[in-house]
Amino acid sequence: MTGKLGLDPALVGRARELARRAGQPVVDLARSHTTVSVERAVLRLAGVSGADPDGIPWVNRLVDAVVADVGLGHGVAVPVFDALAREGVSDVTLLAQKAAAGSVRFGVPSGRAASAARRGSRRAVAAGIRRIDRRRAERDRLVRRFGDPARRPWIYLIVATGDIYEDIPQAQAAARAGADVIAVIRSTGQSLLDYVPEGATREGFAGTYATQENFRLMRAALDESSRELGRYVRLTNYASGLCMPEMATLAGLERLDMMLNDSMYGILFRDINPIRTFVDQRFSRQVHARAGIIINTGEDNYLTTADAVDEAHTVTVSQLLNEFFAHEAGLADWQLGLGHAFEINPDVPESLRLELAHALLARELFPDAPLKWMPPTKHMTGDVFRGNLLDGFFNLVGAMTGQGILLVGMMTEAVVTPWLSDRDIALQNVRYVLGAAGGLHEDFVPASGGFIQQRANRVLGEAVDLLERIGDQSLLTAIAEGTFGIMKRPADRGKGLSGVARHEGDYYNPATEILELSA
């Protein structure tokens, strides 16, 4: 028995082994398939940029043209760089424009032409990956120059005006008020767009569009805040939905620090095809690993549809699966912002002790991961006084259990999009609790054999039972049967399935080749 919860090391090891067994077939599936978004990400690394007059990115036009001529299963790198040589064009964006006009046809070359196309695509993609490497080195320099926050957890706060030029001053104000991480919420529905919009955007419902220019503008603004405040302020956005690999690539190019990147969120809550999601997820995590980006997983969302007590073990199972997928893709423990949440109905007897058990279980299972601790949302009623008290409990549990990233809860959750004054009061709550009890995790040890230890061990046992059942069937079957978040998502349905292809024998992806060599 080890740690504060007296967990059985053999049972913990069994849980990880079962997660590996459940996840490996999915990894094998991802390694043998590609998607239109993976191929678009490859071409973005090779230098394709911009959009046509209708706002459709040239990278979409180019991939669509290749697919129309030769399909997706060969990958697009070789057909595109073969066409560049044949057409005598040196600029891939110009080739995309010619392809959109119908003046270029694509083929699958063989022999010397194929070898030359492979070499050319690898050189171009390697240049893009070197840009990501330079942005990672730049982050390291800025963290050394400005410093990290003096204490943990990092305070994580959301901005979501729908206008990037209004998000910026709100983000800077939040940083001055104490936020360490700014998350720019993405416009509702963007996850189902099969392209990444271009340019700075000023319209969006419940958030701003995730675009490369919006990433650049916000990162530059937070660099100003970092210089002003003398601490590095981190920036979060989304690598999810139908353009997950491209989002990850653009984040690496623009030095974002964290990305929301769950293995199953898009499947469960956006009805995106499971195979599409797992293929896209593996590539995006390889990019995150290279870029030094911390991922935030979305287990908290399961508890908004399922009961947080009855289904607590599904959160643990998902965390173990996310850990396996992340390690396989090359991410280190310090990059795993595994999610969990304070979502137990406060009317349930001993709800605070149950929350303590669940939060401490996550901390003990993943001691080197930052963990992203999410505030109450499901049982916020609009009573702002009750909401502020619940947020205080949430902050206290975060302090007692040593969470790494603490999202600031809003007392007006489920009532209005927070006003600046709401955020100020919420930050006061966080500052008061962390100031008064920030080191309490050093002293807090549950009673041996008591309620909290028993509950944590029970959840771990139920997680192992579920992983054994998943191993008897498959993870895709478990997802189809509604095991996570009570959403049933069969592998042969869902959005984006038409953009998935099995690798042909000559499939080539220079980005994957480079990223796997460095892992």
Please report whether residue 131 resides in a domain. Answer: no
Q: What is the CATH number of the domain that holds 247?
A: 3.20.20.440
296 pLDDT tier (thresholds 50, 70, 90): very high
Q: Which residues are tagged catalytic?
A: 265, 300, 372
Tell me how far apart the alpha carbons of residues 69 and 91 are, in angstroms, rounded to a whole number.
Answer: 20
Identify whether residues 81 and 210 lie together within a single domain. Answer: no
Please report whether residue 444 resides in a domain. Answer: no
Instruction: Using alpha carbons, list the distances in angstroms from residue 437 to 393, 425, 434.
Output: 12, 18, 5
Identify whether residues 27 and 38 lie together within a single domain. Answer: no
Kindly state the DSSP code that residue 86 receives in the 8-state scheme: H
Tell me how far apart the alpha carbons of residues 342 and 391 are, in angstroms, rounded to a whole number.
Answer: 9
For the chain, the average pLDDT equals 94
Tell me how far apart the alpha carbons of residues 116 and 36 are, in angstroms, rounded to a whole number.
Answer: 23
206 pLDDT tier (thresholds 50, 70, 90): confident
Tell me how far apart the alpha carbons of residues 516 and 286 are, in angstroms, rounded to a whole number.
Answer: 8
Total domains in the chain come to 3
| Residues 266, 20 contacting (CB under 8 angstroms) | no
Identify whether residues 357 and 261 lie together within a single domain. Answer: yes
Q: Of the residues 213, 234, 255, which one is the last residue of a structural domain?
A: 234
Tell me how far apart the alpha carbons of residues 184 and 167 are, in angstroms, rounded to a whole number.
Answer: 8
223 pLDDT tier (thresholds 50, 70, 90): very high
Tell me how far apart the alpha carbons of residues 338 and 298 are, in angstroms, rounded to a whole number.
Answer: 8
Identify whether residues 12 and 39 lie together within a single domain. Answer: no
Average confidence (pLDDT) over 152-178: 94
Identify whether residues 370 and 494 lie together within a single domain. Answer: yes
| Residues 293, 335 contacting (CB under 8 angstroms) | yes
How many helices (H) and strands (E) the chain has is answered by 19, 11
The structure tokens listed for 340 are 């969990």
Report whether pLDDT(486) > 60.
yes
Say which residues have a Cβ less than 8 Å from residue 373's Cβ, sequence separation at least 6.
153, 340, 341, 342, 359, 394, 397, 398, 403, 404, 405, 406, 407
From the CA atom positions of the chain, what is the Rg in Å?
A: 23
Identify whether residues 266 and 207 lie together within a single domain. Answer: no
Q: Which amino acid is at 136?
A: R
Kindly state the DSSP code that residue 449 receives in the 8-state scheme: T
Q: Which amino acid is at 402?
A: G
Identify whether residues 268 and 228 lie together within a single domain. Answer: no
Strand (E) or helix (H) holding 239? none
Please report whether residue 341 resides in a domain. Answer: yes
Report whether pLDDT(485) > 80.
no
262 pLDDT tier (thresholds 50, 70, 90): confident
Please report whether residue 179 resides in a domain. Answer: yes
Please report whether residue 101 resides in a domain. Answer: yes
Q: Give the per-residue pLDDT at 264.
A: 86
Report whether pLDDT(510) > 70.
yes
| Residues 510, 122 contacting (CB under 8 angstroms) | yes
Q: Give the per-residue pLDDT at 298.
A: 86
Identify whether residues 352 and 461 lie together within a single domain. Answer: yes
Please report whether residue 510 resides in a domain. Answer: no
Average confidence (pLDDT) over 182-211: 93
Tell me how far apart the alpha carbons of residues 86 and 89 are, in angstroms, rounded to a whole number.
Answer: 8
Nearest to 258, CA basis, from 216, 303, 204, 297: 297
Q: Give the per-residue pLDDT at 484.
A: 80
Identify whether residues 360 and 460 lie together within a single domain. Answer: yes
Please report whether residue 394 resides in a domain. Answer: no
Please report whether residue 429 resides in a domain. Answer: no
Kindly state the DSSP code that residue 272 receives in the 8-state scheme: B
Identify whether residues 228 and 264 lie together within a single domain. Answer: no
Identify whether residues 122 and 243 lie together within a single domain. Answer: no
Identify whether residues 455 and 470 lie together within a single domain. Answer: yes
Nearest to 406, CA basis, from 441, 379, 381: 441
List, for residues 229-251, the tens digit of each pLDDT value. 999 999 999 999 999 999 999 99
pTM value is: 0.95
Q: Which domain holds residue 252?
A: 8-32+239-374+449-499
Tell me how far apart the alpha carbons of residues 142 and 107 are, in angstroms, rounded to a whole number.
Answer: 46
- Which of 68-72, 295-299, 399-403, 446-450 shows the lowest mean pLDDT across its residues? 295-299
